[in-house]
Chains A and B, each alone.
Chain A
Amino acid sequence: MNRQLLDAVAQNVETPAENALDGGGGVSGPVTAHMRTWASPVLAAIGVVCWHASIGQIHPYSTGIIGLVSQLPVLWWLGLVLALVAVVLELARDTPRLPAMLITVVSLALVLHGTLSASETTPRFDAAYDVAGFAQYIGQHGRTLPYLDARMSWPGVLSGTGMLAQAMHVPTLWFVRWAPLFMNLAYLLPVKAIANVSLRTSRARWAALPIFLVSNWIDQDYFSPQAVDLLLFLTIVAIAIRTFGARGEQLKVVRMLMATPPYQAVRSALPRLVGLPSDAQPGELMVDDTTTARRAASFGLVLLLTVAVVVSHQFTPLALCLVLVGLAVAGRTRLKSLWLLVLILVFAWLSWEAEIYWAGHLDVVFGGVGNFGTLLGSSVTTRLAHVSSARLEVQWARLGASFVTWLGGFLGLWVLWRRGRTQWTLAILLVFPVIVAGGVNYGGEISLRLLLFSLAPCSILIAGLLDASPLRWPAAVACILVVGLLLALFPLTRYGNEVFEAIAPGDVKAATWIHHHVPVGQTVWVVNGDSPLDSAGIGRYHFALLPGPTFTSEAAYEKAIHSVSHGDWIYLSRSEGEYGIVFQGDFPGNWIQDFVFWLIGTKLVRIAYQTSTAYVLHVVGPTPRTQAAR
């Protein structure tokens, strides 16, 4: 039997049900058999029904400081539990069934990543409105505005969206609302493709998908270039390690280095030090029987995907380049020079289209070279500074979830190695993108982006803890603990920012009013930019920030309106107010209203338009600037 198992593994044939949690397929009667057949899809369906029924009870525009957590009704939790039980029941089989796994995984994705889209009647997240606005502009005019925003210098996804939206006869905002759910479902495809050549058992391969869903709290899956690029990135990696896979065919220079005595000494000592066998074999499977013609076509596809990545985002091509370097050095792909091509394309694009950004921002781009720890550290510490104690719960939960994800990934790596299988491909995918943090100054979101790149390998490695037939319980329990922790933190980590990331319909209506009524060329002032104003009218107005940093006293108000001129407009919304409370210091809970009342009291402004959550004010009185001039 052992020999058969080994043969099956070697040929990448999924092993038959044996020693399964369900007892190896023994069926006690037709009723039990029916239950076993239908239990997981039926539970998943009931879970979705419960989830759907719970959506009406969620009020995303009146959440507390920790987001939706306090809003989630019992039915929502029931839906989540049922979807989870359905997934676990299906994974309890040695060979989960394709249709049942699809149903259960989609139901879990719907509950976890569809809740915000379903409960919020207007798209969420101001950054998604920005992207939609840029895409709308390109769609309508067929050109970019590189001086307006750096993102316009990498217009690939924006122009693609603009083109599709025009052909579909819809505004680009059409893409935004359900994008997180669809992006997460799309990510599962390359994750499964990579898991299929990294893990041996069908159960573990499928388990990577729900683990990915549970671990992706990062909120970088909103409609954006980086979200689309991650899908392309993972697909390029999948092709590089599958169609062009190699199991340890290192470059000649690397082989020479590996033959040196110091390396050999380290290689024999290090594994023993951490309890690993020194004779472990490459864990990657070679599965794709392909012809030269197909390989050539696949290479063409890789080139297409690579170019699309390069023209769409600043950060992803660099991460891709580093991962490809790692794969080439470790001998995990036969595309040994692809990284060089990516690098050339990156610099070609910088010189061609992104020259406007590149020329004026060299310090911004490369000013942080070598400050690896500082960049990552500041990225984390800025998120912990100036926030209330309740808010700290969310931030610490996010840090905790990141730590658990990475810990789970490294644990999976260690366990698989102990079983005699190295996973260098996944290790490279996990670690190499982090190096980008040492070379590029990407701002406060760098740690989130890095974690985003780590999610796929971490999910597969955590699923690797289940990669044994029969199951090895210590590793399986570790997997359950990791996933349980991630799941427990998920509502806080994923929905914790909803207090300011939810964009209320009133905010959108006020923004739309501005787009329809404010004349071209005028200035629209905002307090912090957490608004949907950029969703249309890009380039028509001058958006400006009222000088802060606080709006807590008359002196602060006067300072804020100091630069305002007669005829300008001021846009104040719920999301801006909440963002100010959370991130901009000790703002009182109703500071937007206080500010509006004060402005009206000075007779400086009149309310031009008002909704239940937003104000559009028109500056009609003498401003401090005009008074000073007199």
Chain B
Amino acid sequence: MNHRPSIRFVVDVSAAIVCLAGSVVAFADVRGPIAPYIVLAGAVLGCGWAMTGWLDTRDAAYAASMTVAAGIALIILISTIAVELGWWHPVIVVGVLSVGAALSNGGLSYRDFTREPRP
């Protein structure tokens, strides 16, 4: 495995772990100085990477830009829909989103671990 996929793999695994941790913290109502950061990282960065990681973008700045923006946009869109529908369950929504993102990031991890090194 060459240098670039290995970095991607580390990012994939980290994102999956953060998403899982974020969903646990949200569902279990864990309080503490670090807890909000874990939920935030899982909901924004984890969900963002779960969507944009599949695009295989090579430019780190471009990939990071899309990841952050996608994560924020997803939260904005889903929360707006929740407000419009009158179905407001923030913990459930963020927790489920994070679990879904963890699954997607798990899939990314598997793909980047098993595929051939890129030229």
Contact = CB atoms under 8 A, between A and B. Distances in A.
A169 B51 CA distance: 25
Most chain A beta carbons < 10 A, residue from B59, B69, B83, B84: B69
A361 interface: no
B91 A160 contact: no
Given A287-B59, A298-B55, A235 B75 contact: no
B76 interface: yes
A228 to B, nearest CB: 6
Contact of B73 (A138, A169, A297, A305): A305
A487 to B, nearest CB: 24
B59 to A, nearest CB: 6
A98 B59 CA distance: 12
Interface string B1-44: 00000000000000000000000001001010001100110011
B76 A159 contact: yes
Contact of B62 (A138, A143, A144, A196): A196
B77 A304 contact: yes
Given A231-B68, A232-B69, A167 B91 contact: yes
Interface of B: 26, 29, 31, 35-36, 39-40, 43-44, 51-52, 54-57, 59-62, 64-66, 68-70, 72-80, 82-84, 86-88, 90-91, 93-95
Given A141-B88, A231-B69, 19 more contacts: A156-B79, A160-B75, A160-B76, A164-B40, A168-B40, A169-B29, A169-B31, A189-B64, A196-B61, A231-B68, A235-B68, A235-B69, A288-B57, A297-B54, A301-B55, A304-B73, A304-B77, A308-B72, A308-B73
A383 interface: no
Nearest to A167: B94
A contacts with B: majority SS: helix
B86 to A, nearest CB: 7
A186 interface: yes
The range of chain A's interface size is 35 or more
B104 to A, nearest CB: 13
A65 B79 CA distance: 41
Contacts of A433: none
B62 A193 contact: yes
Contacts of A141: 88
Given A163-B79, A168-B39, A196-B62, A301 B68 contact: no
B88 A235 contact: no
Interface string A566-604: 000000000000000000000000000000000000000
A163 B94 contact: yes
Contacts of B79: 156, 159-160, 162-163
Contact of B51 (A174, A236, A301): A301
Nearest to B52: A301
Given A193-B61, A196-B62, A170 B77 contact: no
Nearest to B91: A167
A312 B93 CA distance: 19
A186 B45 CA distance: 12
Contacts of A305: 69-70, 73
A579 to B, nearest CB: 31
Interface in A346-405: 353
10 A-B pairs with least C-beta separation: A142-B88, A167-B94, A166-B90, A308-B73, A192-B61, A235-B69, A189-B65, A159-B79, A168-B36, A193-B62
Nearest to B32: A169
A291 B84 CA distance: 36
Interface of A: 98, 138-139, 141-144, 155-157, 159-160, 162-170, 174, 186, 189-190, 192-193, 196, 228, 231-232, 234-236, 238-239, 242, 287-288, 294, 297-298, 301, 304-305, 307-308, 311-312, 353
Contact of B75 (A155, A164, A301): A164
A239 B36 CA distance: 30
B86 A189 contact: no
Nearest to B75: A160
A47 B96 CA distance: 43
A170 B43 CA distance: 15
Contacts of B66: 235, 238-239, 301
11 contacts: A143-B88, A163-B75, A164-B39, A166-B90, A168-B26, A168-B36, A168-B40, A170-B36, A301-B55, A308-B73, A308-B77
Most chain A beta carbons < 10 A, residue from B39, B61, B80: B80
Contacts of B56: 294
B86 A142 contact: yes
Contacts of A312: 76
Contact of B94 (A156, A164, A301): A164
Nearest to B60: A98
Contacts of B26: 167-168
B83 A242 contact: no
A167 B72 contact: no
Contacts of B95: 167
A189 B61 CA distance: 5
